[in-house]
């Protein structure tokens, strides 16, 4: 397991850049799970009236999954690659939104990852030690060499 403290190098784990890079740090990652953090911004794409709406939790979870997949790619000598969020099940937000300045802890555990790149993850987000969002999300992490994200057919 890699542990990073407070300054995990997020850009080396996810392909997201600019305004669409929503998570800030990877705290730990191993073959089965990842823990990441978000410092809820004071301005940005999704900030409204000093908060980010709770439905953005799905994207926070998806980017944590991307960090987990990026760790796997790095261990095989490759860069993080784009993947697809296919959907969510049992999403529950226990608040209306996340206030600017709050720190969120995202924990993601891989429940299933097929050789074809289809995966399912159990996700949760905590704020101030309290669980504020949970979901199961399905993703596609296309196998190396696949052109599916470029509009082609899978390799």
Asked if residue 137 is part of any domain, the answer here is yes
Q: How far apart are CA 118 and CA 136, in angstroms?
A: 13
> What letter would DSSP give residue 103?
E
Asked if residue 22 is part of any domain, the answer here is yes
pLDDT of 155? 45
Which CATH number characterizes residue 36's domain? 3.10.129.10
Laid out side by side, the sheet with 2-3 consists of: 2-3, 25-29, 33-39, 103-113, 118-127, 130-140, 84-93
Supply the pTM of this predicted model: 0.85
Nearest to 63 by CA among 93, 108, 103: 108
Asked if residue 79 is part of any domain, the answer here is yes
Give the up-direction half-sphere exposure of residue 16: CA atoms within 13 A in the CB hemisphere: 21
> What letter would DSSP give residue 27?
E
H helices of the chain, in order, are 57-75
Model confidence pLDDT, tens digit, residues 44-92:
889 999 999 999 999 999 999 999 988 888 777 877 778 888 999 999 9
Asked if residue 45 is part of any domain, the answer here is yes
Asked if residue 27 is part of any domain, the answer here is yes
Asked if residue 155 is part of any domain, the answer here is no
Asked if residue 59 is part of any domain, the answer here is yes
> Based on the structure, what is the number of domains in the chain?
1
**Domain housing 51:** 2-150
């Amino acid at each position: 397991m890699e542990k990073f403290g407070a300054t995990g190098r997020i850009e080396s784990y996810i392909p997201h850049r600019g305004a669409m890079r929503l998570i800030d740090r990877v705290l730990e990652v191993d073959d089965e799970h990842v823990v990441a953090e978000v410092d809820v911004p004071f301005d940005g794409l999704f900030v409204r009236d000093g908060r980010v709406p709770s439905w953005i939790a799905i994207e926070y979870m998806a980017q944590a999954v991307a960090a987990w997949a990026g760790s796997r790619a790095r261990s095989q000598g490759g860069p993080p690659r784009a993947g697809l969020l296919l959907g969510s099940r049992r999403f529950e937000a226990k608040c209306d939104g996340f206030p600017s300045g709050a720190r969120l802890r995202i924990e993601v555990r891989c429940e299933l990852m097929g050789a074809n790149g289809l995966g399912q993850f159990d996700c949760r987000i905590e704020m101030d030690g309290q669980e504020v969002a949970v979901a199961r999300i399905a993703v596609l992490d296309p196998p190396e060499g696949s052109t599916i994200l470029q509009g082609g057919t899978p390799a």
